[in-house]
Structure 1
Amino acid sequence: MRNRYGWLACSLLAPVLAAGFLAVGWLGASTAWAGPSDALRARFQAAIANPGSAAQEDPAELKDYLLYPYLQAARLRSDLRQMPGAVTDARIARFLSRHGGEPVAAELRVAWLLNLAAREQWQTYLATTPQAPDDDLLRCHWLNAKFTLGDTAELQSIALDTWLRGRSLPKACDPVFGWLAQQGALSKDRVLQRIDAALDARQPALVRYLARGLPDALARPFVNAALLQETPTIMLDRLIDSPAAPVAWRWIEQAFDRIARRDSATAMSRYDRLIKARDIRAEQRAMLRRSLALGLAYDRDERALAWFADLPADVRDEQTLEWNARAALYQADWPEVLAVIGRMPATLADTARWRYWRARALERLGQTEQSEALFRALTLERDPYGFFAADRLGVTPDLGPQALPRDASAQAQIMNLAGIQRALELRTVDMDTAAIRELYAAIEDLNPSGRLQTGLLLNRIGWYAPSIALMAESQQWDDLLARFPLPFRERVDAAAKDSGLPPDWVYSVMRAESLYDPNAVSGANAYGLLQLLPTTAREVARRHGLPIPTRDTLKQADVNIPIGSHYLAELNERFDGHFLLVIAAYNAGPYRIPGWLPPREMDADVWIENVPFNETRGYITRVLYNIVIFGWRLNGEPTTLDQLMQPVPARLGESE
């Protein structure tokens, strides 16, 4: 149920005030960001694009600019590349003495340490970094500095702790590791300890490297374990054919689980052969069966229920119970759905998801009064499953928006923080990564109320991604105006009209993809507000006569929104207007959808629950949640889900 949070009266900025971090009076009670002149910003941007040398002089106006340290740092990095030596080292040392604890110094500090190591300036390196860094490369250089200078008093302990990390380490560590070996510190037991750590970290190449120094009889089980991680199916077949081949059972179990999750049929074809080849205990066999049951459920195989039914209670963890229930839903075995939910721990069964499915099962079993009572209770919750419940009852979801109190005085003090001012100015001059670093460094010591007020302040300014993140951190969900803003309105309306989509579709996908951050770049190299892959974006742009984008222009709302909207419309046409398939395809790729279609027409909610990718399943429910609220934001009434939750077809005319 929605929580209604009252305003917590507390000392908002006590830690910051005590530390003397406020530049009181800069903006007074105002929370608008004006900042320096556009001319000064342009001069700074031109200078940092071609920084030159730290030796050059600048006009007083530029020196007084609050981002001038970023220009200084850029020049020092340039000097480090062009003319490393004592003069540059002294300049960097002076800069770090003034700014060492600020985000502006982080990149320069790392660059300087790497340069000092390359020049073997070990005394300066240690003076700059008296404690062993966490970063592997910097730590290796630190160890090498200690070793080269003969400072070995505590070196063995720190070096051994580093060596025992379960991953490959930079070659810079080799001299110190060689010294450890000469000292007799790398005993057989420690080698075995590192091998175990490497196997736990799934570093099979390191395991095989370390095993080369062991007698074959001792090394063979670990080499076999490494091969199970590298090529699980091939190596499992070898171990089935060679029952005496040594390997710890847990690595066989891990490999079998990986195979089952990827391809349950492949795992199924090895199960009987594996248990015949290896003398295993009942609990080990149970874990194999658990892996198979889960794999069959991920593949939506009707045999999954039988395999779940055969599992002993001690391997029925929450993941197993949830997928058991999903398999029962997929097979429309409603009594089994109820039975499995009944076996869930209360903390799981009482979530909105599984209360909804309990109501659905009761509904299908004819227990209408009980099911309606559960559905009505769920409609009081602003949750995807609460919205599903409202759809079942044919009622409008109760959003219950409630604005959070804004503390103008506190926000003015936050705005006066030097780090906040730098963050806002960095964002203004398109240095977004540095802006985020400055923002979170500035609010690190704020208490929860202070961080929440920061989020509300950023909302007013229009910096939505960190604003929404800070409200979520505070678990404040009721301020829907702040959590679901409508930036880029004209562009969204125009793109929606041009592509034939409702604007709430575009906004719902935008919020789910990027939290309104035009500069967002995903790990898969998708860009901008609607997270478009460059190749896909170029193809869509050509088909619709739009300007061909680059990676940089995809970060522009005027480019990204029209292309993303047309791509969404193309998917809508491709999947015959089945909204759930469109959204699943937008997240996971359209080529996956045919394999996810059911053997028979299926209720939309059942299909969503059985989407095999956790990320995509969560994405679909998040977009549906968003679309209900954006309907309210755009039209004054929450979007109802009945037209979007149509049954999922068994097959489509298009097969790709």
Structure 2
Amino acid sequence: MKLRAILTSIIVALAGAANAQGAGDQAILEMAQAYAKNNKARLAQLLPQVRGHLLEAWGAYWELSSRLDTATPQEVEEFFTRYAGTYQEDRMRNDWLLLLGQRRDWGTFAEEHPRFRMNDDPQVRCYALLIQHLREGPAAPAWLEDEVRRLWFSPRESGEACTQAASRLLAEGAGRNRLSEADAWRKARLAMEANRPRAVEAAVELVAPDALPLLKQINASPTKFLTSRVTVASRSRKELIALALIKLATSDIDNAAQLLDRKWGPQLSPEERNWVWGVLGKQAAQRLSPDAMGYYARVARDSDLSDDMLAWKARAALRAGSTPRWDELLSAIDAMGEDLRKETTWQYWKARALLASGKESQRAEARKLLEGIASPRGFYEQLALEELGRPITIPQRPAPLTAEEKEAVRANPSLARGLYAIGIGLRNEGVREWNYGTSLARPGGLSDRELLAAAALACEREVWDRCINTSDRTRGEFDIEQRFPMPFRETVVRRSQEIGLDPAYVYGLIRQESRFVMDARSHVGASGLMQVMPATARWTARRIGLNGFTTDQLNDRDTNIAIGTGYLKLVLDDFNGSMPLAAAAYNAGPNRPRAWRNGPVIEAAAWAENVPFGETRDYVKRVLANTTIYAAVLSGQPQSLKSRLGMVGPRDAALPEPNRELP
């Protein structure tokens, strides 16, 4: 009787806890909505209702974050203490450090910064570098200037903190490796090309504040500025001319080239002239213009170009004809910064260029490069395997996880909170919590075995995106079932075979589109496993005879697969079975790849590398690499990525006209 009473009390206690947790879910969801609307009063009202809930830290973070600018330091410290070690503590510290930097409270910032674990905010990093420089002055180490320069030159960077750090270093003047006036103008050029006018203005203001009125004229009409009677009497005037040419090049390449060649080129410095020709080359290359290599040929020194310009020079060399211009490709890669040169993309293409030389010494170097990246892990890694004469096969699976390894990740509180948040509909918060738990919850993150155990936990819960992304991060281990799962296998395979699609291709696309998240929704409104747009879904439903379809059915698994595969089949047929072209069409619409294919007939890997949209370029490569692995899994046989890629060129005139109705 005593044992029965104890068991009954435990059951009652667990039931009570479950009911309390369930009741708190609604309050948490309401707090998330209140936070999105910046409803401070509602957040304060709801906070007591989530005390003791598994996601209490989220509620407390939202409430304090909404009023952080008026919160007392004591309130912030109490939050840090109460939620020590959590993602929310570190995220709040990030927010607090930014506020301290804006307030110029350097003393408190210096005390708090060493406790910031994620260190993923460039603005916080710039404030920290600024404080170190204020403390050490001219004795500050040289790497500090290099780090400020790297952060400040980042294409998306336009924040106050990095501008302040750069301003401080510029004020130091010449010497050692200090930031210089030339660096400020370089920042302005990069920002102008990226169409970030505020960042341009901030950079120019640091070195030539009196030039700001002329900068406004450039932004209003670069052509009018360049054709007016501008005198080149100073460094700033020359740089303004360069900025105007860059601005014009983004909309009118031919006019900018003529003005540079016939009027302004002789009046610019060699470095300025090289830079503008490099911008023209990049703009032409992104438009897939045959003139791109001609513009790049006007550059006297590749070292004057940015990495982005060099990457597009390399791409233009790949597309320059039926045989790539290997020498220009090699010179562009060799001029890249070390980090870019190390990317598998450029290691692979450098190896190809060296192999094309026919010289035995260069062939040995090429083989070394290929050996360094060859694996089934990605697009260029797979191509490297084939270049070495090896088929693409499934790696041996790791040793089974032990009970202790599984239990350890189940005890990870961040992973538990992440899965719970995803389960009640807070996917963004859950993903951030999960990522923190697998990377920064402790110094160094999780080991390969721990990552495999975490991925296994996500797979068990059918949280496929966390399963895949977590397993993808292992370096020494490769679990094929985690990295390339096949949910809904019977449905996907049957539907694909019914309409003549390769199931591996369908799986490769779904893995890239949604990571098998059934309720996934993109920022442009695409829905479900195969991320189908509503208008495309309605058109496809009519074409495949799916009567009574309404767009609210897109989150139904079978309907989404039926429409997604139906559309993919129509696209594939429209491109005569070319998987790379069809993948590009699925991502960017069919009209763009119809234009992108015009030009010389080239191998599809070179064509894919020249896709002008970065998102679509990566998409095509990942879908085809995924497809190759899924084919190996489904068939149990070695595979070839190159055979799936084939060649790409203009549509054969003898073939039927493309379906212009295809959305």
TM-score past 0.5 threshold:
yes
Letter in 1 for 2:326: V
Unaligned runs of 5+ in 1: 1-36, 41-58, 144-160, 170-188, 190-194
1:69 aligns with 2:24: yes
Secondary structure of 1:283's aligned partner: helix
Verify the 8 A CA contact 2:588 2:616 in the aligned structure 1: yes
Greater Cα offset, 581-590 or 402-411: 402-411
1:548 aligns with 2:552: no
Is the alpha carbon distance of 1:356 and 1:89 closer, same or farther for their aligned partners in structure 2, counting shifts above 3 Å?
closer
Verify the 8 A CA contact 2:318 2:324 in the aligned structure 1: no
Secondary structure of 1:272's aligned partner: helix
Secondary structure of 1:644's aligned partner: helix
Specify which of 271, 280, 297 is matched with residue 309 of structure 1. 297
Specify which of 440, 446, 449 is matched with residue 448 of structure 1. 446
Separation in 2, partners of 1:602, 1:200: 31
Separation in 2, partners of 1:421, 1:616: 34
Separation in 1, partners of 2:387, 2:414: 49
Unaligned runs of 5+ in 2: 1-10, 81-91, 104-126, 128-151, 161-170, 172-183
Equivalent residue, structure 2, for 1:92: 47
Aligned-residue CA RMSD (Å)? 5.0
Tell me the matched-pair count: 539
Separation in 2, partners of 1:519, 1:342: 47
Structure 1 position 416, deviation (Å):
3.5
Letter in 2 for 1:548: F
* Cα displacement string for residues 318-357 of structure 1 (whole angstroms, at most 9, x for unaligned residues): 4444433333332348694146426644956676544544
Equivalent residue, structure 1, for 2:108: none
Equivalent residue, structure 1, for 2:271: 283
Equivalent residue, structure 2, for 1:406: 401
Structure 1 position 530, deviation (Å):
1.9
Equivalent residue, structure 1, for 2:224: 237
Equivalent residue, structure 1, for 2:375: 381
1:516 aligns with 2:503: no
Separation in 2, partners of 1:394, 1:557: 40
Equivalent residue, structure 1, for 2:434: 439
Letter in 1 for 2:264: I
Specify which of 261, 279, 291 is matched with residue 272 of structure 1. 261
Is the alpha carbon distance of 1:62 and 1:639 closer, same or farther for their aligned partners in structure 2, counting shifts above 3 Å?
same
Secondary structure of 1:522's aligned partner: coil
* Cα displacement string for residues 8-30 of structure 1 (whole angstroms, at most 9, x for unaligned residues): xxxxxxxxxxxxxxxxxxxxxxx
* Cα displacement string for residues 183-203 of structure 1 (whole angstroms, at most 9, x for unaligned residues): xxxxxx9xxxxx999999766
Secondary structure of 1:555's aligned partner: coil
Separation in 2, partners of 1:451, 1:103: 24
Structure 1 position 445, deviation (Å):
1.7
Verify the 8 A CA contact 1:253 1:288 in the aligned structure 2: yes
Equivalent residue, structure 1, for 2:215: 225
TM-score norm. by structure 2 comes to 0.66
Structure 1 position 370, deviation (Å):
7.6
Structure 1 position 313, deviation (Å):
4.0
**Matched ranges for 1:10-409 at <5 A:** 61=16, 64-74=19-29, 89=44, 92=47, 102-110=57-65, 113=67, 128=75, 204=197, 221-226=211-216, 228=218, 234-244=221-231, 250=239, 253-254=242-243, 256-257=245-246, 259-260=248-249, 264-272=253-261, 275=264, 279-311=267-299, 312-332=301-321, 336-338=325-327, 340-341=329-330, 344-345=333-334, 352-354=344-346, 356-358=348-350, 360-361=352-353, 380-382=374-376, 383-388=378-383, 396-403=391-398, 405-409=400-404
Equivalent residue, structure 1, for 2:636: 636
Verify the 8 A CA contact 2:575 2:581 in the aligned structure 1: yes
Verify the 8 A CA contact 2:540 2:567 in the aligned structure 1: yes
Verify the 8 A CA contact 2:581 2:593 in the aligned structure 1: yes
Letter in 1 for 2:227: I
Structure 1 position 398, deviation (Å):
4.1
Verify the 8 A CA contact 2:398 2:478 in the aligned structure 1: yes
Letter in 2 for 1:221: A
1:536 aligns with 2:536: yes
Letter in 2 for 1:387: Q
Equivalent residue, structure 2, for 1:654: 658
Equivalent residue, structure 1, for 2:109: none
Structure 1 position 394, deviation (Å):
7.3
Verify the 8 A CA contact 1:362 1:368 in the aligned structure 2: no
Structure 1 position 92, deviation (Å):
3.5
Structure 1 position 650, deviation (Å):
1.9
TM-score norm. by structure 1 comes to 0.67
Separation in 2, partners of 1:369, 1:199: 40
Structure 1 position 273, deviation (Å):
5.2
Secondary structure of 1:582's aligned partner: helix
Larger Rg: 1
* Cα displacement string for residues 117-168 of structure 1 (whole angstroms, at most 9, x for unaligned residues): 9xxxx7x7887558999769x969x99xxxxxxxxxxxxxxxxx9xxx9989
Percent of pairs with identical residues = 25
Verify the 8 A CA contact 1:305 1:328 in the aligned structure 2: yes
Verify the 8 A CA contact 1:199 1:226 in the aligned structure 2: no
Structure 1 position 628, deviation (Å):
1.1
Separation in 2, partners of 1:549, 1:242: 62
Letter in 1 for 2:407: A
Verify the 8 A CA contact 1:356 1:375 in the aligned structure 2: no
Is the alpha carbon distance of 1:561 and 1:237 closer, same or farther for their aligned partners in structure 2, counting shifts above 3 Å?
farther
Separation in 1, partners of 2:226, 2:280: 19
Verify the 8 A CA contact 2:374 2:384 in the aligned structure 1: no
Verify the 8 A CA contact 1:198 1:206 in the aligned structure 2: yes
* Cα displacement string for residues 55-102 of structure 1 (whole angstroms, at most 9, x for unaligned residues): xxxx97376443443334456789999x997x9957736856988971
Verify the 8 A CA contact 2:25 2:424 in the aligned structure 1: no
Separation in 2, partners of 1:553, 1:139: 45
Greater Cα offset, 435-444 or 577-586: 435-444
Kindly indicate whether structure 1 or structure 2 has the higher relative contact order, using CA contacts under 8 Å at least 6 residues apart: 1
Separation in 1, partners of 2:430, 2:627: 30
Separation in 2, partners of 1:71, 1:536: 35
Equivalent residue, structure 2, for 1:525: 525
1:627 aligns with 2:623: no
Secondary structure of 1:562's aligned partner: helix
Secondary structure of 2:647's aligned partner: coil
Separation in 1, partners of 2:28, 2:273: 60
Separation in 1, partners of 2:488, 2:401: 24
Greater Cα offset, 618-627 or 532-541: 532-541
* Cα displacement string for residues 226-260 of structure 1 (whole angstroms, at most 9, x for unaligned residues): 464x55xx334334324159976556545544554
* Cα displacement string for residues 342-389 of structure 1 (whole angstroms, at most 9, x for unaligned residues): 664495667654454455456666679986995795595334235335
Equivalent residue, structure 2, for 1:30: none
* Cα displacement string for residues 429-471 of structure 1 (whole angstroms, at most 9, x for unaligned residues): 4443443344345554244224553223323433221222223
Separation in 2, partners of 1:352, 1:253: 33
**Matched ranges for 1:566-645 at <5 A:** 566-645=566-645
Structure 1 position 583, deviation (Å):
1.2
Verify the 8 A CA contact 1:530 1:564 in the aligned structure 2: yes
Separation in 2, partners of 1:571, 1:628: 20
Verify the 8 A CA contact 2:374 2:385 in the aligned structure 1: no
Structure 1 position 611, deviation (Å):
2.4
Structure 1 position 615, deviation (Å):
2.8
Letter in 1 for 2:658: E
Is the alpha carbon distance of 1:424 and 1:125 closer, same or farther for their aligned partners in structure 2, counting shifts above 3 Å?
same
Is the alpha carbon distance of 1:69 and 1:256 closer, same or farther for their aligned partners in structure 2, counting shifts above 3 Å?
farther
Separation in 1, partners of 2:293, 2:594: 23
